[in-house]
Structures are given as structure tokens and as C-alpha cells.
Amino acid sequence: MELKRVVVTGLGAITPIGNNVHEYWDGLKNGVSGSDWITHFDAEKFKTRFACEVKHFDPLDYFDRKEIKKYDLFAQFALVAIDEAIVDSGIDLQKIDSNKAGAIWGSGIGGIKTFMDEIKGFEAGDGTPRFSPFYIPKMISDIVAGFVSMKYGFRGPNFGTVSACATSTHALIDAYNYIRLGKANLFVSGGSEAAINEAGMGGFNAMQAISTNNDEYKTASRPLDKTRDGFVMGEGAGALILEEYEHAISRGAKIYCEIAGGGLSADAYHITAPHPEGLGAVLAMNSALEDANMKPEEVEYINIHGTATPRGDIAEMIAIQKVFGEHAYTMNISATKSLTGHLLGATGAAETIACIFALQRGIIPPTINYSHPDPEIDSKLNLTINSAQVREINAALSNTFGFGGHNASIIVKKLPS
């Protein structure tokens, strides 16, 4: 069976550095930090009082009041980004085969704010159960895919993925594979997250995963820097329209790039820590290259997972050098979580979009907040430090790794001219 080709024909995003995909790209290329004091709740007593929140978001700009009651914030972000991607793709919903259009959407945590609010409401009462009828649908992470099917009439494969911080890369690779196998013509895919609340921040503080550098909150997201002390929590959504190549050509679609390959693996090592030698990351990247039928030298840019955890960054850089060898010194490497913070389950989609714009615009987004080299990271690597670099590239790889040892790598490339 000959596998079909898969291309990207629509993009949408809402992030801490831009509320649509073009604002997001402007923030990336200009090195804008999305970190600021938390406004979603009173964080005065928390170890961490800052995060990368989405700015100036009013759900009433996008939904009526009745709709808002049905949607947790993670679903609101998702539906805004998805609508942008659908419009961007130019799809005529009346002309496509809705039975061959699907949605695979991911969220690592789902409606944690809804869960927290409902439990707080119950505990504040007299023990009489008074829960919202929307409580469970708002909380479950698969609900976005269901909303997409209902809104756009898509009857094809429809489900959610969950693999912590690798979630939306898994969603994209699943959609890619279903299209390659002829099970669908197009997919809405990506991920969203909204965990900047008491439960989310308190939980990550308790496991010592996030930065507590309140004195330097604006620059606290500092992947690869020796002084890094954990990731900065982010939120938002990234949405992509994946489409079978001939289907896209037949309708005259604008094509951003081709999905070349995807690789999946597990560390089989630890609940939260990566394998110190990056074994799972090596396997994921090698699998992506094999799937794409590409040589390591053909990848010119890696958007690394790069969360700014002390052990995670080192393990990933070890893995990259194992996979790419001497070619690693000729590549651009950057960690865009230095700008956006860590969007958790949305990060894979958002960073794949960053790779696509790097292909399209010939600009590599930077790793900002870097000033102290880590002697455990090879100083000869081009980490795209503190400002974007102009470079024409033909292929880029995005890494995402999740708690539980889940690893996913995806490769995007330009279409042959």
C-alpha cells in the first residue's frame, strides 16, 4: 500500500505572546517574553507568583454567554485557535466529504479550573450535591474534538490524546498517520491548555518543576542557561489543518509545508525525570527520521523541548548529539519556551507552528534569557542565543517530551519546488 502525503493548509494560535498566529510569530521572531505576574488568581502565598498568561483575552469577544457556560478556558482557547485555522485553510465546509474530515485534539490536563471550582463549591456547602450539569463535559480533555465535530459537521475519526507535554505532538502524528492510511482527507489537530490556577501552580510547585525566581520573573524561563531552575507555566492553544496532498491541490489550497515524519517512544525510566542519556529522545528522533526517509544532515533546525529544567535540558542536548553527530554543529537549535513558557499539552502544536514559520520566513526564532553558559552543554552548538537568525531552511524537527517518559518528534519540510 502506498502511503499518501500529508500537508499543512491552515494555522491558528493563541499564546502568551500573541492572540493569533501572526501575533505569535511576531513575538517569536522579536524575542518577546510572555512572562509576567499572575493575574488569574491571588498568588501572593505561592512559591511562584508569575507565569506566561494569555493577555487581553475576553471570551465574550468570541462566544455568547450561554456558550461560555459550556466551555472551560482550555476549550475556549482551543475553539478560538481552531476557528482561525479553519478560516486560514480556506476550506469550503459545504464541498468537502464530512465523513472523511476528523478532529484529533490534545490537552495534558483538561479542565482543571472547572474541576477545582466545582469541588470548592461543594466543600463550601452543607454536603448537598449541587454540581453544574456542564461540570463533567467541561472537565474532560477529549471534549474539544467533540465540539469540533458538532460545530463543523466533521464525522471522521474523532478523539483526544493525552501524554502530558507530548500531547499535541501525538495528536498531530496520529492525524498524519490516519491521512497517510487513507482513513481521512483532513484533520483539525493540535492542543490546548489552561492550568494557570491555584491547583495547577500549587501542584507543579509541590513537585519542584517550575521556576521560583520571582525576583527575575521576566527572564525566569531560561532554557540551557546554567542558572535555570525550572519551567515557567504557560497557557494557550495551537491548531493545524492537516490535509491529504491531492485533496489540498484539488481545491487550490495554500500549502504551508509537508509533514515528513513522526517518531514516538518511551523512556521506561522515571515518573518525571528524563533518561539521563536521552535514550527515549534518541529513539523518537531516529524514528522520525526513518519515517521521513531522511538523513540527519537534511534537518537544519530543531525546536527543542527545552523546558529549562536542570536535568531535562542536558539529556535532550546529549540525545541531539547522539542522533546528529557532527551535523549538530551546523544546525540551528532553539528553545521557544524561553518566550512562551511551557504550554504543557499545547506546546507541541505551538512549536510545530514555530517550525513552519521558520521554514516559510527563513527566520529561526531565538532562545532568549540566556547569559550563563552551562559547562555540561557543548558550547560549539548554535543555540540561536537571544536574537533570531536569518537562515533559509528546508526541514525542521520539533521535540516534545512528557511526564511518564512519553517522547514525540515531528519533522516538517518544504514542498519540492
Segment 318-336, tens digit of pLDDT: 999 999 999 999 999 999 9
Phi/psi region, residue 304 (left: phi>0; alpha: psi -120 to 50; beta: rest), is beta
Length of the chain: 417
What domains are defined for the chain? 1-417 (3.40.47.10)
* Percent of the chain clearing pLDDT 70 (strictly above): 100
Question: Is 92 exposed, middle or buried (CB count within 10 Å of its CB: 0-12, 13-18, 19+)?
Answer: exposed
Q: Please, which residues bridge with residue 302 across strands? A: 333, 397
Q: 140: closest CA among 111, 103, 165, 171?
A: 111
- Average pLDDT over every residue of 264-272: 95
Active site residues: 165, 305, 342
3-state secondary structure of 338: helix
Handedness of CA 311, 406, 333, 23 (dihedral sign): negative
Q: Average of pLDDT values for 404-408?
A: 96
Could you tell me which of 300, 242, 311, 307 has the C-alpha nearest to residue 274? 311
User: Which residue in this structure is represented by grid cell 466551555?
Assistant: 71
Backbone angles phi, psi at 330, to 5 degrees: -100, -5
What are 266's strand-pairing partners? 406
Which pLDDT band, with edges at 50, 70 and 90, does 416 fall under? Answer: confident
User: Residue 413: which H helix or E strand, with range?
Assistant: strand 406-413
> For residue 1, what pLDDT is reported?
76
The pLDDT assigned to 204 comes to 97
pTM, full prediction? 0.97
Work out the pLDDT band at 302, boundaries 50, 70, 90. Answer: very high
Helix, strand, coil % (nearest 5) of the chain? 40, 20, 40
C-alpha angle with apex 348: 242 to 156, nearest 5 degrees?
A: 35
| Backbone torsion region of residue 367, taken as left when φ is above 0, otherwise alpha when ψ lies between -120 and 50, otherwise beta | beta
Instruction: Look at strands 301-303 and 332-334 and give their pairing.
Output: parallel
How far is residue 271's CA from residue 168's CA, in Å, rounded to a whole number?
19
How does strand 236-244 pair with strand 186-193? antiparallel
60-106: pLDDT as tens digits:
999 999 999 999 999 999 999 999 999 999 999 999 999 999 999 99
Q: Is 66 helix (H, G, I), strand (E, B) or coil?
A: helix
Cα(378)–Cα(406) distance, integer angstroms: 25
Specify whether the CB–CB gap between 185 and 247 falls below 8 A: yes
- Residue 252, judged by CB atoms within 10 A of its CB (0-12, 13-18, 19+), counts as exposed
C-alpha cell at 359: 521554514
Whether pLDDT at 2 is above 80: yes
CA angle 386–382–351, rounded 5-degree value: 65
Q: What is the pLDDT of residue 417?
A: 67
At 382-400, the pLDDT tens digits run 999 999 999 999 999 999 9
CA pseudo-torsion sign 11, 17, 23, 28: negative
Cell of 233: 507555566
Percent of the chain past pLDDT 90, that is, above it, reads 99
Burial 49-62 (b: 16+ CB within 10 A, else e): ebbbbbeebebeeb
Longest Cα separation, the chain = 68
Triad 329, 332, 336: Cα angle to 5°: 135
Q: How far apart are CA 309 and CA 230, in angstroms?
A: 4
Least Cα distance to 407 among 141, 169, 236 occurs for 169
Nearest to 367 by CA among 413, 316, 329, 332: 332
Burial class (CB in 10 A: 0-12, 13-18, 19+), 207: exposed
